[in-house]
Structure 1
Amino acid sequence: MASRGGAAREVVQTLLVALVLALVIRGFVIESFLVDGISMEPTLHDGERLLVDKLTYRWHPPQRFDIVVFRYPLDPARDFVKRVIGLPGETVEIRQGQVYVDGRPLEEPYLKQAGEDFYPPTTVPPGHVFVLGDNRPHSDDSRSGWTVPMRDIIGKAWLVYWPPAEAGLVPHP
């Protein structure tokens, strides 16, 4: 039979190991994120909680249409979630709501309404991505003149886990 002191020591050691594992997982593998606002509707909704995969982009860069969580370039204390549209070196343009990448129209079946936006042809700088919200009329995104440095991407939105009725994998066309 173990002494009371030995049992208490085992509990403390177990809690410390669990804490270290939780910190490692949160720091390098998966992180929770709260969707704040309507900029990604109808794909993601205000108040949903996501799990963000922080490992994927260690092996390959973001791909077009990935939904990413990143530090907002104009205020790095805030995190945003948007869809990758333009990759480094590509030219993005919007005419009458239609997005063009390198002169080719982009098919965007996830949009509820495209709007009548205009954005002049702009080349995405090296090491950056051009991002847009799915709810274009209500999204602060790269149309405001900023792009996202790859180093500021936290990870790829992977799973909605709250509310339970909306739980499931984040759709990526």
Structure 2
Amino acid sequence: MAKRKSEWFDWVKALLIAFALAFIVRTFFFTPIIVDGPSMLPTLHDRDQMIVNKFKYRFNEPDRFDIVVFHANEQKDFIKRVIGLPGEHVAFKNNVLYINGEAVEENFYSKEQDPALPFPGPTNDFTLEELPGGHDVIPEGHVLVLGDNRNNSTDSRALGLISTEQIVGTTSIIYWPFDRMQTIGK
């Protein structure tokens, strides 16, 4: 009888440790997210399931073209691409990205993408000053984010600049559906 109690206690202890480790990993290191909508096409598809790295930005700042997940409001997280960094001026003119007056190539669109997917059309011209907040440069602790599908994305053009405190983490791994399993580059 004592042996059964010992086995039962060992199982309970193992399960509690497993749940505790899962909780710690999900809370502080990695968490899943499901892409909701077409705003990141052609890079990410609606219902793609991804892993969010919550750890990276504890020690590093976001880089240009990182794909980030952030709290858009209390109920909703958005997934977008970082375009502008602190201290920079951002503008789009004639479908060209300008950072501090210099043209920057956005080479993250796949040249062999599925022809059935909409390729992002032209990005409407704008300057940082025209966005909510009216900043002339991106202030410290903030980034400018845009969806890859610029004609169908709620991003910094509507939301304004995103505080780095709103950022949950970065993501680059699609794990489901199986036929889309891949690592997304910049």
Aligned counterparts, 1:23-102, within 5 A? 23-72=23-72, 75-102=73-100
50 and 139 in structure 1: CA distance in 2 versus 1, 3 angstrom threshold: same
Q: Distance in 2 between matches of 1:4 and 1:168?
A: 46
Aligned to 1:20: 20
Aligned to 2:132: none
Q: Distance in 2 between matches of 1:54 and 1:116?
A: 30
CA RMSD of aligned residues (A): 1.6
Aligned to 1:120: 127
The structure 1 residue matched to 2:156, chosen from 130, 142, 150, is 142
Higher deviation after alignment, 137-146 or 62-71: 137-146
Following TM superposition, by how much is the alpha carbon of 1:76 offset from its aligned partner in structure 2, in angstroms? 3.0
Q: Would the aligned equivalents of 1:110 and 1:134 in 2 still touch at CA under 8 Å?
A: no
Provide structure 1 residue ranges, at least 5 long, that are not aligned to the other structure: none
Following TM superposition, by how much is the alpha carbon of 1:166 offset from its aligned partner in structure 2, in angstroms? 0.5
Higher deviation after alignment, 82-91 or 120-129: 120-129
Q: Distance in 2 between matches of 1:108 and 1:11?
A: 53
Q: Distance in 2 between matches of 1:125 and 1:24?
A: 33
Following TM superposition, by how much is the alpha carbon of 1:116 offset from its aligned partner in structure 2, in angstroms? 4.5
Aligned to 1:106: 104
Q: Would the aligned equivalents of 1:161 and 1:167 in 2 still touch at CA under 8 Å?
A: yes
Q: Distance in 1 between matches of 2:108 and 2:183?
A: 15
Alpha-carbon displacement from aligned partner over 1:30-83 (angstroms, at most 9, x marks no partner): 1101000111111111000000111111111000010111111xx232101110
2:128 partner SS = strand
Letter matched to residue 92 of structure 2 = I
Alpha-carbon displacement from aligned partner over 1:92-148 (angstroms, at most 9, x marks no partner): 112232221111112112343341502123321210000011000011111115111
Letter matched to residue 55 of structure 2 = L
Q: Would the aligned equivalents of 1:94 and 1:121 in 2 still touch at CA under 8 Å?
A: no
Identity between Structure 1 and Structure 2 (%):
40
Q: TM-score, normalised by structure 1?
A: 0.92
Q: Would the aligned equivalents of 1:42 and 1:110 in 2 still touch at CA under 8 Å?
A: no
Q: TM-score, normalised by structure 2?
A: 0.86
Q: Would the aligned equivalents of 2:42 and 2:120 in 1 still touch at CA under 8 Å?
A: no
Q: Distance in 1 between matches of 2:24 and 2:11?
A: 20
